[in-house]
Structure 1
């Protein structure tokens, strides 16, 4: 029996019992101290840590206090040691506290990749997390490795839609019921069903993923109490790893969800998004932020709730010494490799922009030069905190590109490029959340300029493309290059289909970037944005927008000063 099959059997046997695991006591004392008879509980939420164990520079742009922020808002932040400090500090004022992780925890750094996630186990086990879910990158090191890592955690992974492909049984517990201060809380996990296509298919081999059809029956069971030991839950929490836009749509579709903890898109919801009785929140990424949800429950109903998004900055949250020591021990074997210098930069390198960013312009240009192509393309990845001016290390490189990809070179016509960009716009700006797919917009090299209207109908968003200052010619064949992944069609480069004369180079995305730094250090500029949307600011920090009218959604900030240009 495979490790996947063993876990599936265990989850199937356990699921109907709906584990009762009290997280805090003193319920009667709490009720007595509150004249309104309400019982208090809180949820501390992190998501998308992406194997960022240590503190790092972070960009904060929330303008709730007024004004437009610049580089002065760059702060040292994050790190698991600060997460621990924040958890413990919250527990002092909120004794009835659930600690939840929304996934994408083990992938996203060099040490994460070099140990297939193992470097994260001891540090996250020291945080006191109660529940977590698998993210879309949980399969980065293969399905069997995901199962192995889950067994080493001191908290359960929940997912109602991941199945063992061989047995058809659930691979993880779909939900849990826990009692917090006399309040019965049901928690359901839901992982992106598109994992087998968003990630290289070999990564999730052995697992199958179902869609949202699994959710309403589970919600109905927990909220009705039918067949549930202890009866119905008072609060239903759905933890999703599908992105904010899709989570909002899910909240509009499902009945009975009180709280939806979203992850995947690294969005920072300083204010909750409200759909009916459901609050939807997401807490950024990289351990730089933590969401805190305070609930008051009386007679089985939420009577008050409050949300706050905390910025885990160095001046406010010192590092927990014990967790810091564990991290030092885990990283010690990797320090020399992490700190090997590959170049220098005089500009900030970050990728906090839906359309283009200094880091991705550098990577796309490096790919173009390494492959001797006319156009370079790079993925619209969301992971990697900013890299400060100064030395650039191998650790930085692995943060930017946690999977080195061989470079593929081939020809595509201008007409193919037009179809490609229309497809990319739909992936990112579709009015239908079900059609949103993957990360942010693809990143072209800076010699390609693309004007578009994100609010136009699908298939009609592209306005103009130029290459080296000349209009794109539909019949001309352009030499393009990008990283290739296992399982990709041989004639596909990035997502440009049916390319001709395709060949794979010996170089990778990593060797391309290293050569770029060898030739150009110190990097002093990364060029202007090659992507321009006529109805949005050039620097767009959020994908949670109103695509129909080309305007910012309620609560979204206006134009920001570009970071690192």
Structure 2
């Protein structure tokens, strides 16, 4: 299918009446306005002739989240979904995702819908595979423009390279140090607004980017408020967000719902980069059975129950889960809350019935469902050309072999200890163990830093079992610098306890550990008691609370990321090479075509359930 014509950015982003210019002081020189209106009455996406002239108009809302620059079809477990059968059994859906197929599915879904909006809930970029990440995610922004994305909230990964780089993603311009990646071409930036209502300048209190956006066609007006999770500062590099404050999600959404109401916009959708945890991992699980919202837990539940009834639906993300639930609002009225997993494997189709007389959504008529981005449709040719163009630029780096594996080395989302996590921790320990490199005795790896599995499947012409630099980059895209630090045994135990307590109690973040470091998790208990302290050992010896150990970890963890505040208390830090360099060096040193690397046993953490 052909792409719709490129929209004129200036024309589509008109200042909302009465809204002032918003900046973040000296952090970002040129930022967009506080509130934007997209006037689509002139045809917008061109999804068909306007037929909605009656009182009630069905508005199609297509949404997705957590794409993370996955332009090519994701591999291994990242390219699978679980389907729940009617008899309660499940089956695996193989071969899903890929922006070429997402484009086709979205374009087909829009057919026959003159009122159609496409929105996203953050993490469109960041932690991206090499074909996008190598070029600072310019390819993904270009792809999203071609997808005709109308609006998105920011997510925490939009801040991976800092506020200045996010501004460049919005406004365009060549990279400040690497320049333009294609001769004679200047990066144009996003045709859609990024919304960041709860990301403000600490001094001025003004939003970094537009807090809201109003979609309009033939008198139908729907407002979008975009926020990221309040805890973003705890899970991104501190340097890139210096001078920024991340506010409470509920307070921010409710504030701007009132602003939109005063402007006469009564139909409101919140785009929120925070999510929930459904009781089943199946994308089609009914989390409203036996009652509304009973099958979902996590931060989104309390948020949804407290967001103003003025808001008609919440599109969410961050947890990489799939759900289409109804959770009661503060007035007890059911309200749709959705998430489309991650990596472009699903999209959500929600029908919002708009009442022209009240200018509001008829809540009882809202219907929503997640749809698989299968690869049994014709790939969008314009997306194929886009990917091929960037792959050609990346090929000299991406196709270089760096190792060999004997089978898939997975990174299962529902496993506490992951085979790939063990491999990465071992690589980091080996890289930081020499006395002149840090003298590390063990390594800790944050699970969120592992972005994809290693697939045994053939990679281009390199052959089955070959790991290329591009594949290794997709696993470790952040290029975090490694550190070796001093921690006491007591601090190590506290770090293990912080995996399953405090902010990580509801959704544990289990650190991946290097060989020789073992312990037991008792998940029948709660909080810090889940760690069996007497079981914590290094090379068979119990950890001594008073003894000092040299521990390897990336700079994100040594800075206290992911809620591991105790790790900030380290001493004697030594900075080494990047995590990616250590990973590729380990693969090269420990594998060959005749002796491929076996799958780690994942036997370091004993789990009692």
TM-score (norm 2): 0.76
Query: In the alignment, is residue 516 of structure 1 matched against residue 586 of structure 2?
Result: yes
Q: Kindly tell me: are residues 153 and 4 of structure 1, through their superposed partners in 2, closer, same or farther at Cα, counting changes over 3 Å?
A: farther
Do residues 156 (structure 1) and 193 (structure 2) align? Answer: yes
How far off is 1:502 after superposition? 3.7
2:602 counterpart residue number: 528
Q: The residue matched to 2:69 in structure 1 has which SS?
A: coil
After TM superposition, give the deviation of residue 470 of structure 1 in Å: 4.2
- Relative to structure 1, the CA distance from residue 206 to residue 118 in structure 2 (aligned partners, 3 Å threshold; closer, same or farther) is farther
Moved more, 372-381 or 23-32: 23-32
Q: Is the CA contact 1:143–1:206 (under 8 Å) kept in the aligned structure 2?
A: no
> Using the alignment, how far apart are the partners of 2:602 and 2:558 within structure 1?
33
Aligned position for 1:403: 478
Distance in 2 between residues matched to 1:443 and 1:494, nearest whole Å? 17
Aligned pair in 2 of structure 1 residues 361, 69: CA closer, same or farther (>3 Å)?
A: farther
Residue 410 of structure 1, CA deviation: 3.3
How far 1:388 moved relative to its partner? 1.6
Kept in 1: contact 2:83–2:93 (CA 8 A):
no
Decide which of 367, 372, 393 is 1:333's aligned counterpart: 393
CA deviations on 1:83-122 (whole Å, 9 max, x unpaired) are 1101101011434221112221222222433322223232
Query: In structure 2, how many angstroms separate the alpha carbons of the residues matched to 1:382 and 1:76?
Result: 23
Offset at 1:381?
1.1
1:11 corresponds to which residue?
Answer: 33
Q: Deviations over 1:289-346 (max 9, x none)?
A: 212212334453222222222221212x331011211221123211121111111222
**1:525 offset after TM fit, Å?**
1.4
From 368, 375, 379, the equivalent of 1:319 is: 379
Alignment of 1:140-179 (within 5 A): 140-151=160-171, 152-164=189-201, 167-179=204-216
Determine the structure 1 residue equivalent to 2:233: 196
* 1:89 is aligned to 2:121: no
Within 1, Cα distance between the matches of 2:604 and 2:114?
Answer: 50
Corresponding residue for 1:210?
A: 247
Within the candidate set 187, 190, 198, 2:224 is matched to: 187
Q: State the secondary structure of the residue aligned to 1:255.
A: coil
Structure 2 unaligned residues grouped into runs of 5+? 1-22, 172-188, 277-297, 434-439, 457-464
Residues 427-459 of structure 1, C-alpha deviations (whole Å, 9 max, x = no match): 56425xxxx7xx832211243233223453433
Residue 104 and residue 81 in structure 1: after superposition, are their counterparts in 2 closer, same or farther (change >3 A)?
Answer: same
Equivalent-residue separation in structure 2 for 1:66 and 1:530 (angstroms): 36
- Distance change >3 Å, CA 272–CA 104, structure 1 → 2: same
* Partner Cα distance (1:305, 1:532) in 2: 45
Partner of 1:100: 119
- Alpha-carbon RMSD: 3.0
Select the residue among 241, 263, 272 that pairs with 2:317. 263
Distance 1:473 1:165, change over 3 A: closer
1:503 maps to which of 574, 593, 602:
574
1:220 counterpart residue number: 258
The aligned residue for residue 283 of structure 1 is: 340
SS state at 2:194 partner: coil
Quote the offset at 1:130 in angstroms: 0.7
Conservation of the 8 A alpha-carbon contact between 1:131 and 1:157: yes
SS across alignment from 2:567: coil
Task: Tell me how far apart the structure 1 counterparts of residues 99 and 585 of structure 2 sit (CA, whole Å).
Answer: 33
1:130 to 150, 167, 174: 150
Bigger shift: 50-59 or 200-209?
Answer: 200-209
Equivalent residue, structure 2, for 1:539? none
SS at match of 2:33: helix
Give the structure 1 partner of residue 275 of structure 2: 243
Report the Cα offset of residue 265 of structure 1.
Answer: 1.6
2:68 corresponding residue in structure 1: 50
Shift of 1:67: 6.4
Separation in 2, partners of 1:207, 1:481: 29
Q: Which moved more, 1:413-422 or 1:450-459?
A: 450-459
Which of 551, 555, 564 matches 1:480? 551
- CA–CA distance in 2 between the matches of 1:422 and 1:487? 16
Comparing 236-245 with 177-186, which one deviates more in the overlay? 177-186
The answer (yes or no) to whether the contact 1:357–1:529 under 8 Å persists in 2 is no
* Aligned with 1:445 (options 501, 511, 514): 514
Q: 1:462 aligns with which of 531, 534, 540?
A: 531
Of 58, 65, 84 in structure 2, the residue corresponding to residue 40 of structure 1 is 58
The 1:383/1:135 distance shift into structure 2, 3 A limit, reads farther
For residues 198 and 54 of structure 1, do their structure 2 counterparts lie closer, same or farther at Cα, with a shift above 3 Å needed? same
Deviation at 1:485? 4.3
Q: Describe the shift of the 1:55–1:461 C-alpha distance in structure 2 as closer, same or farther (beyond 3 A).
A: same
Match of 1:420 among 479, 495, 515: 495
Contact 1:347 1:524 in 2 (8 A): yes
Distance 1:3 1:19 in 2: 28
Give the deviation of 1:26 after TM superposition: 8.4
Q: How many residues were matched structurally? A: 508
In 2, are the aligned partners of 1:27 and 1:181 still within 8 Å (CA)?
A: no
Runs of 4+ aligned structure 1 residues displaced above 6 Å come to: 24-28
SS at match of 2:385: helix
1:56 aligns to what SS in structure 2?
coil
Q: In the alignment, is the contact (CA less than 8 A) between 2:485 and 2:552 conserved in 1?
A: yes
C-alpha distance in structure 2 between counterparts of 1:114 and 1:26, whole Å: 38
**Per-residue deviation, residues 464-522 of structure 1 (Å, max 9, x unmatched):** 32333444333343332112249938xx99953433544333x3312221222123321
Per-residue deviation, 1:65: 4.8
Separation (CA, whole Å) in 1 of partners of 2:232 and 2:441? 32
1:327-366, Cα deviation, whole Å (9 max, x unpaired): 2112321112111111122222332325222221210111
Which whole-Å CA distance do the structure 2 matches of 1:201 and 1:232 have between them? 36
Structure 2 residue aligned with 1:349: 409
Partner of 2:295: none
Unaligned 5+ runs, structure 1: 536-565
